[in-house]
Structure 1
Amino acid sequence: MLMANPATLRNLVKRYETLRRAHARLGTSESNRHLEDISYTLCVTTGTRTVADALTAAEAQLRAVPSAASVLSAAGPSEVQLTA
């Protein structure tokens, strides 16, 4: 199964949430079109057919990927040393 780049997936979920709130507040045809566009992109990116399934898949994929902070701490100290 193909998996989206974690940064891209986080961005899509964040944009979906932002546009969903904007549409709830504004309720315009333009806000609806933007919400539909990001919903479609999120579904395609996660290989799902509904937004609910896309959000569930995104959550599962993001949970499976370690965060950058945990990767850096697991790698140990950097070989590069900063000096004044």
Structure 2
Amino acid sequence: MLRPHPAVLRRLVDEYEALSAAVAASEQADLSTRLRDLTYTLCVSTGTRDVERALEVAHQWLGTAPPPARETTPPAVTERRRMATPEPA
């Protein structure tokens, strides 16, 4: 089974947990729709059928994932020079 990238999985878990707490505090339809979408995505991403198991699997995978790479700034783009083309003889 393919596993989601740890950064993507982390974002899904964080958003689910935050939204779950917000929905518990206030029943807003737009929040619960997004929560349903996140539940589905987490279950599909982890190969599970319920969100509690999906969160367990996600946390387990995230616990064994390598630490995220430090983001680096790409090198500055330098001007390219054309190579000299030999003259036909």
Q: In the alignment, does 2:57 pair up with 1:57?
A: yes
* Separation of aligned partners in 2, 1:68 and 1:29: 34
Correspondences of 1:1-84 after superposition (within 5 Å): 1-68=1-68
- Residue of structure 1 in register with 2:87 after alignment: none
Structure 2: give runs of 5+ residues left out of the alignment: 71-89
Deviation at 1:65, TM superposition (A): 1.0
Which has the greater radius of gyration?
Answer: 2
Gaps of 5+ in 1: 73-84
The structure with more helix, counted as a fraction of residues: 1
Q: What is the Cα deviation at residue 68 of structure 1?
A: 2.8
Q: Tell me how far apart the structure 2 counterparts of residues 2 and 21 of structure 1 sit (CA, whole Å).
A: 29
> TM-score, normalization: structure 2?
0.71
Deviation beyond 3 Å, 4+ runs, structure 1 = none
Distance 1:56 1:6 in 2: 14
Number of corresponding residues: 70
